[in-house]
Amino acid sequence: MTLDGKNVLVTAGSEKLGAEICRAFAGAGANVAVNFRSSAEEAHRLVDELSSSHDGRHVAVRADVSVGEEVAQMVETVQSELGVIDILVNNAGPFSRTPFVGLPATEWDSVIGSNLAATYECSAAVAPGMRSSGWGRIVNVSAVSAWVRNRATYGLAKSSIHTLTESLALELGPEVTVNAVAPGQIAESLDEMSGIDEEWANSVVSATPAGRLVTRGEVADLVVALCGPLFDMVTGEVLALDGGLRLPRF
């Protein structure tokens, strides 16, 4: 599959899963805009890596994607550098495990803003260009926390993204498809999770029917595939990459 010449914007693209998604798109021939909020050094280093390893034009662009004015400026910058944005990956989404009772208002604003509001703001900003050009793909990054009830505000934000994905698919078709991917615990992030929730980290592999955790590369490959011709008739869907972790048990 090739996405030669397509212009891709990946939010929170400078590190971890976001960076792997950027690498996968560059490998498919796309021009990649790497969004970052504070990790400028990492974003520019990634752009240098993409430029040295792949053809195409790759840029770093700063924005807090939970702020509408900054999103508008980001989209304007990317379009002036690359052209109309053909593919948007809404990857931004900080984690939280603070219970609802006693949740600070600032944490609520951060989690909802950077997960749900950012997905809306970015999608609304790129949709007119996609529809005018007659083709577009939006892929939202959710999480297995959308189905389980142990991640409070984070789970609420991710499950709301599922509803937004369906609604945008209805509004933006036929020119634009809108889908979501929902990873379970990602293998490369397990050590980080151990410092947040050791009990979860110690039990998550045994609780996964597939017997292992999904990798960043596997998630990135599916995100890219959703933008290719094999998925032209798929829209409004949420694809779980969790090895069955979300399935209910007695």
pLDDT of residue 193: 83
> How far out from the chain centre does Cα 87 lie?
12
pLDDT of residue 148: 85
10 Å CB burial of residue 233 (0-12, 13-18, 19+) is exposed
pLDDT of residue 194: 84
- pLDDT tens over the chain, length 250 residues: 789 999 999 999 999 999 999 999 999 999 999 999 999 999 999 999 999 999 999 999 999 999 999 999 999 999 999 999 999 999 999 888 889 998 999 999 999 999 999 999 999 999 999 999 999 999 999 999 999 887 789 999 999 999 999 999 999 999 999 999 999 999 999 988 888 778 878 899 999 999 999 999 999 999 999 999 999 999 999 999 999 999 988 7
Go through 76-109 and write b for each residue having 16 or more CB atoms within 10 A of its CB, e for each that does not: eebbeebebbbbbbbbbbeebeeeeeeeeeeebe
Query: Cis peptide before 174, with omega less than 30 degrees from 0?
Result: yes
Beta bridge partners of 136: 176
Residues 55, 57: Cα–Cα separation, whole Å: 7
Residues 172, 39: Cα–Cα separation, whole Å: 32
Q: Name the amino acid, one letter, at 116.
A: L
Contact 156, 98 (CB under 8 A): no
| Residues sharing a CB contact under 8 Å with residue 228, sequence separation 6 or more, in sequence order | 1, 3, 28
Sign of CA dihedral 67, 12, 165, 207: negative
Beta bridge partners of 62: 36
pLDDT of residue 196: 78
pLDDT of residue 43: 98
Q: Domains of the chain, with CATH numbers?
A: 7-241 (3.40.50.720)
- Alpha helices by DSSP H, listed for the chain, are 16-27, 40-53, 68-81, 105-112, 118-133, 152-172, 190-196, 198-203, 216-225
Tokens describing residue 217:
């590369």
Bridging pattern class, strands 238-241 and 87-90? unpaired
